[in-house]
A and B are shown apart, each in its own frame.
Chain A
Amino acid sequence: MSFLVDNFTLLRDGFLTTLSLALLSGLLALLLGTVLAAMRVSPVLALRGLATFYVEAFRNTPLTVIFFFLVFGIVYIDLQFPTKFVAAVAALSLYTAAFVCEAVRSGINSVSTGQAEAARALGLDFRQSLTTIVLPQAFRTVIPPLGNVWIALAKNTSIAAGFAVTDLTAVLSRLANANGDQILAVFAAVVAAYLIITLSSAWGFSVLERKLAIVR
């Protein structure tokens, strides 16, 4: 136990890095994913095609490969992220946006046809009916799948450890390699930290779902 107390600052910093990775990329992925979902239902064929291509490409690429390219690959087109942390945020949000897009699109499909028809009958155009009528209802129905995407994202942040970001998992392997006898305590602490994030998010999302659910 005293071992964990000695390394408390290291573990806390790792926890905060993991949390900020997850929050930042979650926010960016939500924005990008919503824009992609809007593109996928838009009247313009080119936008639909572009969004579909994006989603298919990123869903079929392992996250490790995306990390790899953003960290080691883009130097060949003379680009570079300022820090490894920013690269990790970029990789996580680009990857997760594809899944957010699919979740939001399923929500858009679940809004009943009459809503959009009524909106158009009132003279709202595509942008207005999407942003004021369809999306607000869609977001309420996709809270459970979005919650799953968010929890998966929080767990996926651990991959950043393989690319020189000192998150919880990186702290874990550093401490585990340096202190062979305390390995179980280290694992217990790190797993507990991840459980704090995932289980509390699961609880939060179920509360949110109950509060916002539309009774049909």
Chain B
Amino acid sequence: MNGARVLFDVPGPRARRRQRIGSILGALLVLGLVALALWRLGSNQQLDPNRWSILFDPASNVPQRLLAALVDTLQVAAVGMVASVVLGALLAVGRLSDHWWLRVPVTVVIEFFRAVPLLVLILFCFLYLPKVGISTSPFGALALGLTLYNMSVLAEIFRAGINSVDRGQAEAAYGLGMRKWQVMSFILVPQAVRRMLPVLVAQLVVLLKDSSLGFIIGYMELLRTARSLVEYFNSLYGDTYTFQLYVGAALMYILVNVLLSQLAKLVERRTAQNVKTTGTAPLDVPGGVPALTGQVTGTV
């Protein structure tokens, strides 16, 4: 039911007028709420330009600290992305193996790490590993936790991608006398990659969002840095810049995520047009919201 235009008639002149009036009233209501919030902010002197200028004033060291925090955020996300893609691919191969002694333990590993909250994994790396002699910095714990969780989600994405290739493709390749590794690497993976690319990118966006959990274990990502800046400025000037610093950090997070999401949409559109994906079925990824045509979704 695409386009959803089938759900209602094209509105006539009266319905259009009614909708227009309703839209204007609704817009006024939303604007009113926004104005109310702004007015409350203004009456608390939070909209004072002098307070916001601290975000752009190099002399206050704020822009430098926030940019450094953005780099740190991207750094831990990048380490997590690379490690979880590599390990996820290996796990997917293991789960698709013909040998039960490989398939069963790999399946248990994947299902376990998918079922445990990411924050618990991160806390495990942060609190338990030092006790057994593996010292982990907040960076290490965060990167390891992100990797453990996302490798199992990505393994499922890879597996679903390979299973989405039409069965006839593998059968034909076996019929031509190829071995299993040849079927995998020459026939299945090249077709599956195109199908799973959008879902993969969407999951990497999720990984980037999850790097904000570093806030809880004290890794200096954007939110934690904003917090420490707030504490510093509060000791000097009182509660003057708190709101501005938090808003600045949050906006940076949102901006980066929106950019990556747009990239995912671009990849999705290009994949949908690619003739080489015709041999694959749309991906329904367990553990994630299924990928829809023209719509990128990922795990929550």
Count how many chain A residues have C-beta atoms less than 8 Å from C-beta atoms of the other chain: 75
Closest CB-CB distance, A142 to chain B, in whole Å? 9
Q: Is the CB of A169 within 8 A of B26?
A: no
Bound-state CA distance A144–B118 (Å) is 21
Q: Which residues of A contact B212 (CB under 8 A)?
A: 62-65
A81 part of interface (Cβ distance < 8 Å): no
Q: Is the CB of A183 within 8 A of B128?
A: yes
Instruction: Choose among B4, B40, B131, B212 the residue with the greatest number of A CB atoms under 10 Å from its CB.
Output: B4
Q: Which residues of B contact A173 (CB under 8 A)?
A: 123, 127
Q: Is the CB of B295 within 8 A of A102?
A: yes
Closest CB-CB distance, A79 to chain B, in whole Å? 8
Q: Which residues of A contact B124 (CB under 8 A)?
A: 187
Bound-state CA distance A198–B261 (Å) is 28
A83 part of interface (Cβ distance < 8 Å): no
Q: Is the CB of B9 within 8 A of A183?
A: no
Q: Is the CB of A194 within 8 A of B288?
A: no
Interface residues of B in 28-45 (CB under 8 A from A): 30, 37, 40-41, 44
- 1/0 per residue, CB under 8 A from A, across B197-239: the answer is 0000000010001111101100000010000000000000000
Given A60-B258, A112-B1, decide whether A152 and B300 contact each other with a Cβ distance below 8 A.
yes
Q: Is the CB of A41 within 8 A of B123?
A: no
Q: Is the CB of A43 within 8 A of B27?
A: no
Closest CB-CB distance, A129 to chain B, in whole Å? 6
Tell which of B6, B120, B209 touches A169, judged by Cβ atoms closer than 8 Å: B120
Given A50-B30, A176-B127, A190-B120, decide whether A43 and B250 contact each other with a Cβ distance below 8 A.
no
Q: Is the CB of B288 within 8 A of A113?
A: no
Q: Is the CB of A156 within 8 A of B216?
A: no
Instruction: Choose among B37, B295, B300 the residue with the greatest number of A CB atoms under 10 Å from its CB.
Output: B300
Given A47-B26, A78-B44, A145-B290, decide whether A129 and B128 contact each other with a Cβ distance below 8 A.
no
Q: Is the CB of A158 within 8 A of B120?
A: yes
A13 part of interface (Cβ distance < 8 Å): no
Q: Which residues of B contact A120 (CB under 8 A)?
A: 6-9
Bound-state CA distance A110–B210 (Å) is 31
Count how many chain B residues have C-beta atoms less than 8 Å from C-beta atoms of the other chain: 61
Interface SS majority for chain B? helix
Closest CB-CB distance, B200 to chain A, in whole Å? 17
Given A106-B290, A158-B120, decide whether A61 and B254 contact each other with a Cβ distance below 8 A.
yes
Q: Is the CB of A78 within 8 A of B300?
A: no
Q: Is the CB of B1 within 8 A of A191?
A: no
Q: Is the CB of B289 within 8 A of A149?
A: yes
A153 part of interface (Cβ distance < 8 Å): yes
Closest CB-CB distance, B213 to chain A, in whole Å? 6
Q: Which residues of B contact A69 (CB under 8 A)?
A: 246, 250
Closest CB-CB distance, B148 to chain A, in whole Å? 13
Bound-state CA distance A120–B6 (Å) is 8
A28 part of interface (Cβ distance < 8 Å): no
Q: Which residues of B contact A126 (CB under 8 A)?
A: 7-8
Q: Is the CB of B40 within 8 A of A64?
A: no
Q: Is the CB of A60 within 8 A of B261?
A: yes
A90 part of interface (Cβ distance < 8 Å): no
A140 part of interface (Cβ distance < 8 Å): no
Q: Which residues of A contact B297 (CB under 8 A)?
A: 99, 102-103, 106
B257 part of interface (Cβ distance < 8 Å): yes
A84 part of interface (Cβ distance < 8 Å): no
Q: Is the CB of A62 within 8 A of B2?
A: no
Show 6 A/B contacts (Cβ-Cβ < 8 Å), sorted by A: A60-B258, A78-B40, A108-B4, A130-B7, A148-B288, A169-B119
Taking A46-B23, A120-B6 as known contacts, 8 extra A-B pairs with beta carbons closer than 8 A to each other, sorted by chain A number, are A46-B27, A57-B254, A68-B250, A73-B247, A78-B40, A117-B6, A126-B7, A144-B290
Interface residues of A (CB under 8 A from B): 41-47, 50, 56-57, 59-65, 68-69, 72-73, 76-78, 95-96, 99, 102-103, 106, 108-113, 115-117, 120, 125-126, 129-130, 134, 144-145, 148-149, 151-153, 155-159, 161-162, 169, 172-173, 176-177, 180, 183-184, 187, 190-191, 194-195, 198-199, 202
